[in-house]
Amino acid sequence: MELIKPCPACGAPVVHYTNPVPTVDILIHIAGRGVVLIERANEPYGWALPGGFVDYGEPVEAAAVREAREETGLSVELTGVLGVYSDPRRDARLHTISVVYTAQALDPENLSAGDDAARAAVFPLGAWPSPLAFDHAAILHDYLSRFRRLNPVSS
């Protein structure tokens, strides 16, 4: 879908397309304890991976580190990309595309809810709270499957 708007510099018509909105989610696994989830303070309610919208001009990696800090109080080191999730139904508010990062907490003792998180907690692998927001049940399932495949003895 497109929309014609005037150029802010010269006033000439410019086509603006309605595109999906980029987001990030961060799967922070604390060894021996589990995965960090936040309970959302705003709609849609439920438990979720820390994450949020990428700011204009911000690299997605920087957005992931920022969102982790804002919502959990944790400094993280990104360890990889779990996947890109883009189902138009993943967020009922608007079509988003999320780059989901895996990360390790550099300071797990600093876990605390912040920004739009009502609570932050660590959940053992596979013992997720309910309800999970967005498509985070699918993301956690993908992570758990990969984790068990790579670590068959130490789940």
pLDDT at 88 over 80: yes
Q: Is position 67 within any domain? A: yes
105-134 CB burial, b ≥16 within 10 A, e <16: beebeebebebebeebebeebeebeeebbb
What dihedral angle (degrees, nearest 10) is formed by the CA atoms of 77, 103, 40, 129? -150
Domain CATH for 32: 3.90.79.10
Q: Is position 9 within any domain? A: no
Q: Is position 140 within any domain? A: yes
Is pTM beyond 0.95? Reply is: no
- pLDDT tens string 89-142: 999 999 999 999 999 999 999 999 998 899 999 999 999 999 999 999 999 999
Q: What is the CA radius of gyration of the chain?
A: 17
Percentage of the residues of the chain whose pLDDT score is greater than 90: 83
Q: Is position 143 within any domain? A: yes
Residue range(s) defining the domain that contains residue 140: 20-150
Residue 3, pLDDT score: 83
**Total domains in the fold of the chain:** 1
Q: How far is CA 58 from CA 55, 72, 91, in A?
A: 5, 20, 21
Q: Is position 3 within any domain? A: no
Q: Is position 113 within any domain? A: yes
Q: How confident is the model at residue 155 (pLDDT cuts 50, 70, 90)?
A: very low
Q: Is position 10 within any domain? A: no
The number of CA neighbours under 13 Å toward the Cβ of 12 is 3
Q: Is position 4 within any domain? A: no
